A and B are shown apart, each in its own frame.
Chain A
Amino acid sequence: MLKDITLGQYFPGDTALHRLDPRTKTILVIVYIVALFLAVSYVSYAVLLAALAAAIAVSKVRPKVLLKSLKPILILMVLTAVLNLFYTRGTDVLVSFWIITITREGLENAVFMLLRIAMLILGTFLLTYTTSPISLTDGLERLLRPLKKIRVPVHELSMMMCIALRFIPTLLEETDKIISAQKARGADFETGNLIRRAKALIPILVPLFISSFRRADELATAMECRCYHGGEGRTKMKELRYARADAIAFALGGALLAVTIVLRTMGL
């Protein structure tokens, strides 16, 4: 059933990684991605991979679960690798037959590309696995706060995200119910050509939209009744505060970036 889908992919826990400020984690992921793009050699990839492995170990997220998250983009990864393998021009020819030439540079590029995508995905997922959606939203709101000066509605955006997260399970459940109800009236979603099938969705989509509007309307009234009047003068129960662990995490992240840059300048 639809409602069984896990969303946000958050795995509750109480590890050092879970406890880090969401802002710290978000910034570290960005640092990590930058470092990945600066890496050019086996040595630097090895360093970054070691860092990732260490973070995974601390998070206690099962590696199997993490690797599973690569599945949906496996095709993309293979495709990118293959393209790199065949289309990189190089001098050191390893294999050559018919119109296909594989060079050493091509092989290297393919391997690096594969590693880069995989590590990028794993790093980002580690963030969402160890940070609840709500604190992630909170962190983003705080990080993006300076953008308010150029009139980006940061508070409103984060409020919207928060409400969306809250209502996704409710709406999924509702969709399930509407599908069942229309099935009970003999609606058929499984047979027929594409157009027929698309048409068969109308009895689901119309009630779903109408109910969403009704919910939105009621929610807006309920929020007003609880004195909501935008982000002005609003406080937070859980103020985000950097702790000692965050300082250490920033230091480690900075060191990692520095090492990558040094390795790059050394041509490694």
Chain B
Amino acid sequence: MTPILETKNLHHVYSDGTPFRHEALKGVDFAVQRGEFLALIGHTGSGKSTLVQHLNALLKPTDGQVLFDGKDIWSDKAFTRAVRFRVGLVFQYPEYQLFEETVFADIAFGPKNMGLDRDEIDARVRRAAEFVGLSEKALRKSPFDLSGGNRRRAAIAGVIAMEPDVLILDEPTAGLDPYGSEQLLENLRRWQAAQNSAVVMVTHSMEEAAACASRLVVMADGAVKMQGEPKAVFAHAAELERLGLDVPQITKVFLRLRELGMDVDTSVFTVEQAKAALLKRGEGAPC
């Protein structure tokens, strides 16, 4: 099956021909399958934000292609614009892009630009608000009267309301407290399941990636370095650390255990997995 989104040998150079020339992407081959939850991981400057902006045609490749459903997104103008709506992009700290008088109007901005009719817009706004957990009362408020966490939700709802086939989020939980992050991720998972859309989450946090995604893509230095199921990627924990990534605490503990001479599987990354692995070892015989 054709992936919903695919890049082929994607290159991007910023400020070409000036002393500030910077090659951000160096031949990225990357694909998003329909309906999958994918986490894109990399440290600052790895090129992940640049990649993401190519996926909905905000940036034009210096070289290479971006295909949506098998078709080059730059092949014609109407298609490029259509792709903007089918690939939703939520930027980092999206709450700073809110501008309307009410939360409702702000969420409706995207659907309105799509040229949908009133009833459809109304229905979509309400559906989106429900998914992110905003109440009916919150919809009538000014976005600036909401709490920080709810402003973030409103901004994400604004993209969800376009009902894209692929939803990309650049560090959606940055700055939220652990509880707020957990809830937001839960909402996203629920949306992805209900909508059967693909979700691409850009994150620094391996814990988060491991908790939500079915597949991880690790970027470094403008290229894809590793990809696969979380377990397979975390099996290379030592290499992840070398790439400047923060591996989950539990993985760190297990890496150390191995160094201490214990024969343990270092691909564990959650408390449950670790507990199961250790209990199996101890065969339920506490000392």
Contact = CB atoms under 8 A, between A and B. Distances in A.
| Chains A and B in contact, CB within 8 Å | yes
Interface of A: 1, 4, 174, 177-178, 180-188, 202-203, 206-207, 210-211
A186 B114 contact: yes
Given A4-B20, A178-B96, A207-B98, A185 B158 contact: yes
A186 B58 CA distance: 11
Interface in B93-146: 94, 96-99, 109-110, 113-114, 144
Contacts, number: 58
A186 B162 contact: yes
B144 A184 contact: no
A187 B56 contact: no
Contacts of B99: 202-203, 206-207, 210
A4 B144 contact: no
Ranked nearest first, the 10 interchain pairs of A and B with the lowest CB-CB distance are A186-B113, A206-B99, A185-B110, A181-B97, A184-B89, A181-B91, A203-B99, A207-B99, A207-B97, A180-B58
B15 interface: yes
Which of B53, B96, B97, B113 has the largest count of A CB atoms less than 10 A from its CB?
B97
Contact of A210 (B20, B89, B114, B144): B144
Contacts of A182: 97, 109
Which of A181, A187, A207, A211 has the largest count of B CB atoms less than 10 A from its CB?
A181
Nearest to A178: B97
24 contacts: A4-B18, A4-B20, A174-B96, A177-B96, A180-B58, A181-B89, A181-B94, A181-B97, A182-B97, A182-B109, A183-B84, A185-B113, A185-B158, A185-B162, A186-B85, A186-B114, A186-B162, A187-B109, A188-B113, A202-B99, A203-B99, A207-B98, A210-B99, A210-B144
B121 to A, nearest CB: 13
B88 interface: yes
Measured as residues with beta carbon below 8 angstroms from the partner, the interface class of chain B is 20 to 34
Contact of B91 (A177, A186, A187): A177
A178 B155 CA distance: 12
B198 interface: no
A182 B106 CA distance: 11
Nearest to B88: A184
A186 B159 CA distance: 10
B96 A184 contact: no
Nearest to B144: A210
A180 B91 contact: yes
Nearest to A174: B96
Nearest to A185: B110
Nearest to A209: B99
Which of A180, A184, A211 has the largest count of B CB atoms less than 10 A from its CB?
A184
A213 to B, nearest CB: 11
B159 A185 contact: yes
A181 B158 CA distance: 11
Given A182-B97, A184-B56, 12 more contacts: A178-B96, A180-B91, A183-B84, A184-B84, A185-B113, A186-B109, A186-B110, A187-B109, A202-B99, A203-B99, A203-B109, A207-B99
Nearest to B161: A185
Nearest to A204: B99
B107 to A, nearest CB: 10
Interface string B12-37: 00110010100000000000000000
A174 B53 CA distance: 16
Nearest to B56: A184
Contacts of B144: 210
A186 B98 contact: no
Nearest to B81: A186
Contacts of A206: 99
